[in-house]
Chain A
Amino acid sequence: MTTILTHLDRLEAESIHIMREVAAEAERPVMLYSVGKDSAVMLHLARKAFYPSPPPFPLLHVDTTWKFQEMYKLRDQMAQESGMELLIHHNAEAQARGINPFDHGALHTDMWKTEGLKQALDQHGFDAAFGGARRDEEKSRAKERIFSFRSAGHRWDPKNQRPELWNLYNTRKSKGESIRVFPLSNWTELDIWQYIQREAIPIVPLYFAAKRPTYRLDGQLFMADDIDRIEHALGHRPAITQRSIRFRTLGCFPLTGAVESEASSLSEIIQEMLLTTTSERQGRVIDHDQSASMEKKKQEGYF
């Protein structure tokens, strides 16, 4: 007899296999949790992989203090529901220097996220960290392995990657080295949405369209998530308009562009995604500079 496995069944089985390999072979694994939809799927898969045990590793949120309020809310709720320990890391230096997305642009991402991540991994001695990156997001990701090694300085060397054959992963590493593991490597944006729908996975409500306070800056539409902070940072209070908006990707609220939309259900979101003509990362300011920018960032230790 044949059991027909759909593409979602097979992607799920592969991701679970990867997570169990890490749990079995790494000394101190951790799951990076950014509260976005990919993180939501990754966390859900981890719960399925280890049920009835809770996943045998903590969640780590490398926070910038500039995330949307609804993200913080869902984060705390999911940590509680999954029974996992939630670690929150703030880069103390970035905090002390008042690094923020308005005044510091790329430095904000670099200090809070890239440096913050390295600090957190070093501080806790994590030797394997799950990330929710997918290969369809960006060209350099397409060539990255599922188990991606980082030197003691957290650098990625794209020329020196280990071959990955069958479903066999070589997790052995030298002292100081660590592994970034991407269990969602083979998922596409559409797969993620379909799976969220099939499994009824909770996601941040900001993905769904609703009337929200917005303002425009440099041609992009932003949500006034914390208008006092925005005013303080900009030196003036931008004009606020109520618009029906949603987000295709979630990051720091001053850096994440919203799209005008009426898509208020999962089906409508998927419909919009399929009919749209721009890729999801376009909403993130970080990738715009030049087409190889992500590859450079990764070599420097960006997840």
Chain B
Amino acid sequence: MASSYQTDALIASDIDAYLEQHQNKSLLRFMTCGSVDDGKSTLIGRLLYDSKMIFDDQLTALTADSKRVGTQGGEIDFALLVDGLAAEREQGITIDVAYRFFATEKRKFIVADCPGHEQYTRNMVTGASNADLAIILVDARKGVLTQTRRHSYLAHLLGIRGIILAVNKMDLIDYDADRYNAICDDYRAFAETIGIGDFTCIPISGFKGDNIIVQSPNTPWYSGDPLITHLEAVELALAADQAKPFRMPVQWVNRPNLDFRGFSGQIAAGSVKPGDAVRILPSGKTSTVSHLVTLKGELDEAAAGQSITLCLADEIDCSRGDVIAAADDPPEVSNQFEATLVWMDDDPLLVGRSYWLKLGAQMVSATIQQPKYTVNVNNMEHMAAKTLELNAIGVAEIATDKPLIFEPYAASRALGGFILIDKITNHTVGAGMLHFSLRRAQNVHWQATDIGRDDHAALKNQKPRVLWFTGLSGSGKSTIANEVEKRLNLMNRHTFLLDGDNVRHGLNKDLGFTEADRIENIRRVGEVTKLMADAGLIVLTAFISPFRAEREMVRQMLPGGEFIEIFVDTPLAVAEARDVKGLYKKARSGQLKNFTGIDSPYEAPITPEIIVNTAKMTPAEAADHIIRTIMPLK
């Protein structure tokens, strides 16, 4: 290889001069999109090889691997350098995001190596989330393909400003300028339709090294920069972030002793110095920055990208999840939004289910409405949808249980990008980008009232409780709940029994039995239950409530200890044998769809407060057992 990024001569002759030069490199994160067929891994392997990031022992291993499983007829297969995991290497495909590193004299580069297959949209989105620039690879023999459009759309969606269209394998079309220009024109026409205004087109060969580091003699008709020169010059997103108003999400409160209280976080935008006026959100209180503290003395100023600890002049409440911002230009606060969502889990989105939403250092519960539409990433068409499946991208409204401090994603990745976490499996199930706050959220405020839930309960001389009966259809929930309510009534307790069938005659008569409707059913019942508990009542509910997540959601709505989950544990065979309402027979014959236990799942409680086994207890015995467990209720 004739050229290399590193000035070997300087390393050998004057290492201190070399190090001085390299102390001050900037950092660019970029992603590469394309499939193995486009020569993506070969290009990355080439960049590493040319920048001497490959050592002799690795080269020896590579040469051996190239002979064993290589696809380049025994020649060094650069792709093998970057295809990491053993199983993938044998399949010959990259299936996950991998990160690579190389450096030139001017910059260090972190490359997110992303796969091109449709089913790995989630990995592309992951790689794009931290990238300033995307290299979209196309095979010069094939031109702009469906996947080229898909990659471009995703890169643009995630807010990547710099796009390079690398027309690869130019050696295989004899460096044909007309063919190259036709591909660039074709791409330009498409790029405009999705809002990519500016991009750079470069004819390259990853395999031969054309226009990677120096201009290739094979493309005299190309007057632009080689790839590396362009990567070294492109402007960093960080520079733009630093020009914005100050924002710092508080990650951790530093309190070593009573005399020191610092707020630690990574600055998301703008800059800060002692004396600056700041506003703490969501409280809205203002103060002044007094010090920027570090292990090596105090700082005069700090800017976006830095992780700092700052102190305020006033003693103000501020904790993890709060945002410290420029006093005269703070971000918005809202609890209802429109957002683009990318679904990343095998289990589809459940409309109405409560997920954890993490944005900056904020963690709240969020529910998602039915998507307004999903986007076909191959042709950008909008389609109607009821849910989001793995790798789907859609636009939907989101409601959170607590106000979120946010900015639109287009203005701030740090305060506009979020992840969704399943509360039971703990998987990261989705990622999202906030568009804007919904106006209705801005106009609805919580009205404080003087008589609170404690007053209501005190008047009734009891402690509110929610006795949540869950179990299969026909397990005996309603019967036992009725027995329990009779006993409480005799004890002069104020109660109310919410029964599944009865609620479906009124409040929930618009709901069916799909998973989404079942979740909404329980959400509404949860809200009603909460109101009744606030009113001081002992509430008994008898609903199949088949999903753990929704029962957990209701538990979270209530003060600790108030929710008592009672599992009416009746084996399916026993419940089916009883078949009081004849429903099992209908379900078995196919007349009734989505029946719990037959063709719809029941998730039994893992640690319920009370279990009653109706195969061993009569309803009266079960009721007595429950009463004994929950007393004295005062």
Residues of A in contact with B (beta carbons under 8 Å apart): 1-14, 16-17, 20-21, 23-24, 47-54, 135-136, 139-140, 142-143, 158, 161-168, 170, 172-174, 185-186, 188, 190-191, 194, 197-198, 267-268, 270-271, 274-279, 282, 291-292, 295-296
Contacts and interface: CB of A to CB of B under 8 A. Distances in A.
Given A17-B307, A166-B129, A2 B243 contact: yes
Contacts of A291: 61, 65, 86
A285 B252 CA distance: 41
Interface in B550-577: none
A52 B15 CA distance: 35
Interface stretch (B120-128, B366-374, B400-408): B120-128
Interface stretch (B30-38, B187-195, B411-419, B595-603): B411-419
Most-contacted residue by chain A among B22, B122, B302, B356 (CB, 10 A): B22
Q: Which 5 A-B pairs have the closest CB atoms?
A: A3-B303, A292-B86, A16-B307, A7-B27, A7-B108
28 contacts: A7-B103, A7-B108, A12-B307, A13-B306, A13-B307, A17-B251, A17-B307, A20-B252, A24-B320, A24-B361, A135-B101, A163-B125, A163-B126, A163-B344, A167-B130, A168-B360, A168-B417, A170-B358, A172-B426, A188-B101, A188-B108, A190-B22, A190-B103, A191-B108, A271-B15, A276-B55, A279-B55, A282-B55
A278 B252 contact: no
Interface in B233-280: 238-239, 242-243, 251-252, 254-256, 260, 262, 264-266, 271
Interface stretch (B293-301, B436-444, B535-543): B293-301
Contacts of B252: 20, 23-24, 50
B25 interface: yes
A20 B264 contact: yes
A7 B358 CA distance: 27
A170 B431 CA distance: 11
A58 to B, nearest CB: 17
B419 A168 contact: yes
A17 B23 CA distance: 22
A117 B195 CA distance: 52
Given A1-B271, A51-B294, A136 B101 contact: yes
Given A53-B256, A166-B129, 5 more contacts: A1-B271, A20-B265, A170-B428, A188-B101, A292-B85
A253 to B, nearest CB: 22
Interface string B490-530: 00000000000000000000000000000000000000000
A167 B361 CA distance: 10
Contacts of A10: 27, 238, 305
A5 B122 CA distance: 30
Interface of B: 6, 8, 11-12, 15-16, 18-19, 22-27, 53, 55-58, 61, 65, 81-86, 89, 96-101, 103, 107-108, 110, 122-123, 125-126, 129-130, 238-239, 242-243, 251-252, 254-256, 260, 262, 264-266, 271, 293-295, 301-303, 305-307, 309, 320, 344, 356, 358-361, 413-414, 417-419, 421, 426-428, 431
Contact of B254 (A50, A164, A271, A292): A50
Interface centre among B65, B122, B295 (most CB of A within 10 A): B295
Contacts of A174: 426
Nearest to A17: B266
A20 B307 contact: yes
A279 B85 contact: no
A140 B320 contact: no
B154 to A, nearest CB: 13
A177 to B, nearest CB: 8
B58 A279 contact: yes
Contacts of A142: 82, 84, 98-100
A139 B99 CA distance: 10
A6 B238 CA distance: 11
Given A53-B255, A166-B413, A295-B85, A11 B15 contact: no
